Amino acid sequence: MFSVVFRQVVRCAVGKAPHLCFGIGLFLIASTVVAESANDKPAMDETAVDFAREVQPILAKHCYACHGPDEAEGGLRLTDRDGAMAETDSGEVAIVPGDADASHLIERITADEDSWVDPMPPEGDRVSAADVEILRRWIDQGAPWKNHWAFEPVSAPEIPAVPGHPEISHPIDAFVTQRLQQRGLTPNGPADRPTLIRRLYYDLIGIPPTARQIQRFVDDPDPRAYEQLVDHLLRSPHYGERWGRHWLDLVRYAETNSFERDNPKPNAWKYRDYVIRSFNQDKPYDQFVIEQLAGDELSDVTTETLTATGFYRLGIWDDEPADPEQAFYDEMDDLVTTVGQAFLGLTINCARCHDHKIDPIPQSDYYSFLAFFGDVTTYGVRRDQTGNNQIDVSKESLQQQYADLDRQTKDFENQLTEIEQRGIASMSAENQRATEGRKADREAVLEKHLRRHLSKDDWRRYESLRAELRDVRKRRRELPARQSVLGLARLADPPRETFVLFRGSPHSPTDEVDIAFPELFDSSVAAMPAPTSRSDSSGRRLALAHWIVDPENRLASRVIANRIWQHHFGRGIVRSTNNFGQLGTPPTHPALLDWLANRFVDGGWRFKSMHRLIVTSDAYRRSSDSRPDAMQVDPANDLFWRFDRRRLSAEEIRDSMLKVNGSLNDQVYGPSMYPTLSREVMQGQSRPGEGWGDSEADDQNRRSIYIHVKRSLLTPMMTVFDFPDPDRSCEARFMTLQPGQALALLNGDFAHQQAARLAKRMDANHIDDSQLVNRCVRRVLGRDPTQEEIAAGRHLMQRLVNEFEVPRERAAELYCLSVMNWNEFLFVD
């Protein structure tokens, strides 16, 4: 502290009023000596500060913008130990290991407007008192510096032994209990069986159990009843619908292109079905990744692997851009962004215009990564919106027939054009000009004048060719329809050269770069891959895919293990599941995350075995009850002392309504369906109603994952419950509670239709009020109603009939609607 005060006196001495400094300095020094001699300084918390989890996020948030990888104002760079502890341009040292009081960093972040030094950061949020204390403790403990946790190789932690808990046999519970013990917390006990079965049904298949299924599980004396239930649900075809939806959020799945016309992406639904089928088949994750990134480059290319390359065609696409070159690189940037975030948990896209401000990703790494996609073509062009993205997967014999007839068609058209041009050459200048304009004008001129300007032999030949052309076109129309999938139909051959673009502008190329993996991985330079089975393929994407799913890759296994955990517990061990970089949230249980990553790889990259592992843990089966003592220590439940209650997703709410009233169509796979939308909703498009189909009623009752996703016309029932924006990767759904949701469930047409179906299903007109309440609560909530609920339900219906003169049939429907608005229906405990 003395040294800090002395520096302040010296600064004052060289300022505008040096004559004031001596007295002020003596006063400050004397005050400091008295304070220190009085031993007023609080005792230091001896708990070791975790640099990666506690310190680095503070530096990244408040300091890296000016003192990070891209800027080093005043000669200070805080992204590495040497830079942080070196002398700055002013001769100060920001961090003095072991002495927080002598560290200029602490002096600056605690300064105010009246201080001797300028406060830092100069703009934006100041460093909180709690964060200042963390930095002080860390410096006083010697400022131990580690690389960012996610950029280190995956460790191989041992399953911890938990003192006092010899009964813990589940590895997940060992890790979780260890952290709870460190904070002096005890976990909640297990949830009851009705709660567990409902939690498990929604978690694994996205629809609720029936009252009969709940009761059967509650009464099952088999000690393995829970494990058998887990296996039963994982075998359900609805498992793929539930978990496939998580993946579709991640890869920004939609079936149209966005922008004004928002034209359809033909056969996009086949990619959706590929994802659902892959989860149902328990396809290994490494194979799943390789098929999507390089399904056309494998030694054994199939319709399935070609369908997987639809991944490249899911993003937005402008069919009439003002700057086509800029639009193409925006399209490629969207691809790099999605691959980086979805597979690696990295914001590589932040380095498009300059070196990454936070993570060690130079701009050259962005373009070297982009070079892996050098053979990927744009989605389409204005005059041909399918040629690049529709792959013909018909039988070879059918493809050959189409090719032969297309060749004959082109040959006849060329011969006809040759004869037409001979006749046009002798026509008037006015008619010649007309044939050079619109196609309709040309045909009108030819129909009226061509015969008079041809010889008899040419005319006979012309008529014969037209007859043959009509016959060829007729035979082509009569062929069976070709089967196509959305994917990489046409590649750039050879791959485009890739240049670093100055400030990201495609009109300002600088240095050429080759394919290479980001330098933070310390990987070997990517070698040019060998030729693949596809003649126009470079093999670059296959090399990238194999590198991503290499067990030695330090991020891929962590990222997917964290996502699986996220969808079971409502949040990841790393909450920022798309960003494992330095501005992401650090893991609450880093050892557990690495153990899960290793377990996933060792288990053959299989999802279902991970589900079994996680849902059979005590941590997953805990009750969601709140406890004041635990809330005081861990209000965000970072340590998993309880299970977090959650609101149902948009799909779960809609599907549950259909399920409980018996109208859910459980058909799996197939083309998308179109729910009925109101005229008001349709008016939101530039061309109201265009591109929205009219599905049969039974088809509209299918699971919500089969709703057509039109970017300019998202279904209101879905969006009000936080269906994600499909223009970008969604790492986690918002789970809001807002008035629009209540209005949709109480006043929306869909909700009222489902309530009417529920009342009809229960034969409401032929039973009394008490029976109706009993049946409704059992169907909707899977349990018997209490006496208070029966009395309240009867009272509601009687008031509707007697006071508001509502017909009994309508009163029954409104009661059913009210039960589907209960929190017990809309939340999972």
User: Is the predicted pLDDT of residue 523 greater than 80, yes or no?
Assistant: no
> What's the pLDDT band for 86 if we cut at 50, 70, 90?
confident
Interatomic CA distance for residues 119 and 803, integer angstroms: 68
Backbone angles phi, psi at 317, to 5 degrees: -150, 130
For the stretch 124-167, pLDDT in tens is 778 898 999 999 999 998 988 888 899 999 999 999 998 888 88
Interatomic CA distance for residues 705 and 274, integer angstroms: 13
> What's the pLDDT band for 21 if we cut at 50, 70, 90?
very low
User: Is the predicted pLDDT of residue 231 greater than 90, yes or no?
Assistant: yes
> What's the pLDDT band for 674 if we cut at 50, 70, 90?
very high
Rounded to 5°, the CA angle 413-414-416 comes to 65
pLDDT given at position 525: 67
**Lowest mean pLDDT: which of 44-53, 157-166, 413-422, 687-696?**
44-53
Q: Percentage of the chain surpassing pLDDT 90?
A: 74
Domain parsing of the chain, residue ranges: 42-146, 284-392+484-554, 394-482, 646-728, 747-828
- Residue 244's Cβ-side half-sphere holds a number of Cα atoms within 13 Å equal to 28
- Averaged pLDDT score across all residues of the chain: 90
Look at the block and give the residue holding tokens 């990841």.
572
Interatomic CA distance for residues 348 and 355, integer angstroms: 10
Contacts for 356 with CB less than 8 Å, ≥ 6 apart: 69, 70, 347, 348, 350, 362
User: Is the predicted pLDDT of residue 686 greater than 90, yes or no?
Assistant: no
Q: Percentage of the chain surpassing pLDDT 70?
A: 93
Between residues 657 and 682, the one the model is more confident about: 657
Rounded to 5°, the CA angle 692-695-697 comes to 140
Count CB atoms within 10 A of the CB of residue 191: 20
pLDDT given at position 642: 98
For the stretch 377-421, pLDDT in tens is 999 998 999 999 999 998 888 888 888 898 999 999 999 999 999
pLDDT given at position 787: 97
pLDDT given at position 41: 37
- Measured over the CA atoms of residue 134, residue 136, residue 142 and residue 144, the dihedral's sign is positive
Backbone angles phi, psi at 376, to 5 degrees: -80, 125
Contacts for 168 with CB less than 8 Å, ≥ 6 apart: 162, 174, 177, 618
Tell how far CA 805 is from the center of its chain.
49
pLDDT given at position 70: 65
Interatomic CA distance for residues 504 and 363, integer angstroms: 9
C-alpha dist (Å) from residue 392 to 293, 478, 492, 533, 581: 19, 17, 18, 17, 41
pLDDT given at position 31: 39
DSSP structure class, residue 141: T
Rg of the chain, C-alpha, whole Å = 34
Q: What is the largest CA-CA distance in the chain?
A: 121
Interatomic CA distance for residues 568 and 486, integer angstroms: 31
pLDDT given at position 30: 37
pLDDT given at position 534: 66
User: Is the predicted pLDDT of residue 475 greater than 60, yes or no?
Assistant: yes
Interatomic CA distance for residues 334 and 353, integer angstroms: 14
For the stretch 55-64, pLDDT in tens is 888 888 888 8
pLDDT given at position 684: 81
Interatomic CA distance for residues 563 and 515, integer angstroms: 28
CA nearest neighbour of 333 among 491, 504, 486: 504
The pair of structure tokens assigned to 28 is 């400050």
- The partner residues of 491 in beta bridges, in order of sequence, read 376
Look at the block and give the residue holding tokens 């200042």.
132
Tell how far CA 611 is from the center of its chain.
20
User: Is the predicted pLDDT of residue 37 greater than 70, yes or no?
Assistant: no
- The partner residues of 93 in beta bridges, in order of sequence, read 87
Rounded (10°) CA dihedral 590, 594, 595, 600: 140
CB 765 within 8 A of CB 809: yes
> Can you tell me whether residue 92 is helix, strand or coil?
coil
Q: What pTM was computed for the model? A: 0.85
CB 777 within 8 A of CB 784: yes
Here the contacts of 624-627 (C-beta below 8 Å, separation 24 or greater) are 624/188, 624/191, 624/195, 624/829, 625/188, 627/188
Interatomic CA distance for residues 643 and 625, integer angstroms: 8
pLDDT given at position 526: 64
Between residues 3 and 347, the one the model is more confident about: 347
Interatomic CA distance for residues 504 and 355, integer angstroms: 11
Rounded to 5°, the CA angle 489-369-324 comes to 55
- The partner residues of 827 in beta bridges, in order of sequence, read 647
User: Is the predicted pLDDT of residue 175 greater than 60, yes or no?
Assistant: yes
> What's the pLDDT band for 685 if we cut at 50, 70, 90?
confident
User: Is the predicted pLDDT of residue 23 greater than 70, yes or no?
Assistant: no
The pair of structure tokens assigned to 450 is 């061509």
User: Is the predicted pLDDT of residue 32 greater than 80, yes or no?
Assistant: no
Q: What is the mean pLDDT of residues 641-670?
A: 97
pLDDT given at position 398: 82
Look at the block and give the residue holding tokens 């709660």.
195
For the stretch 554-588, pLDDT in tens is 999 999 999 999 999 999 999 999 999 988 999 99
CB 336 within 8 A of CB 581: no
Q: What is the mean pLDDT of residues 619-630?
A: 97
Interatomic CA distance for residues 119 and 110, integer angstroms: 7
CB 214 within 8 A of CB 780: no
